[in-house]
């Protein structure tokens, strides 16, 4: 009976290890660079101050898709979004 329990334990441990390994591969890589993408921020969802200096804080965009409001997106993404304009690129931390 002890051999059966040991075999069952090893099987369960192997399945758990395989599951952990598979889920580790499902996580996307951390971006190497971020770009400041203007023209796509939703009202109240901008990342920081407006490009024209009208305000200096996140979450203060008055309307959707204003040219002066921006959000950070992974580098190479902004050009793929309709209305997105790259304003700056910074390295990821």
Q: Residue 12 and residue 18: Cα distance in Å, rounded?
A: 10
CB 91: neighbour CB atoms within 10 A?
9
Examine residue 87 and state whether it is found in any structural domain, yes or no: yes
Count other C-beta atoms under 10 Å from residue 21's C-beta.
Answer: 9
User: How many separate domains does the chain show?
Assistant: 1
In a domain, 1, yes or no: no
Tell whether the torsion through CA atoms of 68, 86, 45 and 64 is positive or negative.
positive
Residue 85 domain flag: yes
pTM beyond 0.85: the answer is no
From first to last of its 93 residues, what are the pLDDT tens digits of the chain?
455 566 556 555 555 555 555 555 566 688 899 999 999 999 999 999 999 999 999 999 999 999 999 999 999 999 999 999 999 898 887
Say how far apart CA 69 and CA 43 lie, in whole Å.
Answer: 9
State the pLDDT at residue 57. 93
Q: Is residue 40 part of a domain?
A: yes
Tokens for 40?
């796509």
């Amino acid at each position: 009976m002890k051999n059966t329990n040991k075999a069952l334990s090893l099987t369960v441990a192997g399945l758990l290890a395989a599951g952990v390994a598979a889920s580790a591969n499902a996580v996307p890589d951390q971006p190497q660079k971020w770009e400041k993408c203007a023209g796509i921020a939703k009202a109240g969802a901008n990342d920081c101050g407006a490009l024209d200096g009208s305000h200096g804080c996140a979450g203060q965009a008055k309307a959707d898709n204003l040219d002066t409001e921006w959000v950070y997106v992974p580098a190479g993404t902004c050009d793929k979004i309709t209305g997105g304009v790259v304003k700056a690129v910074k390295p990821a931390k």
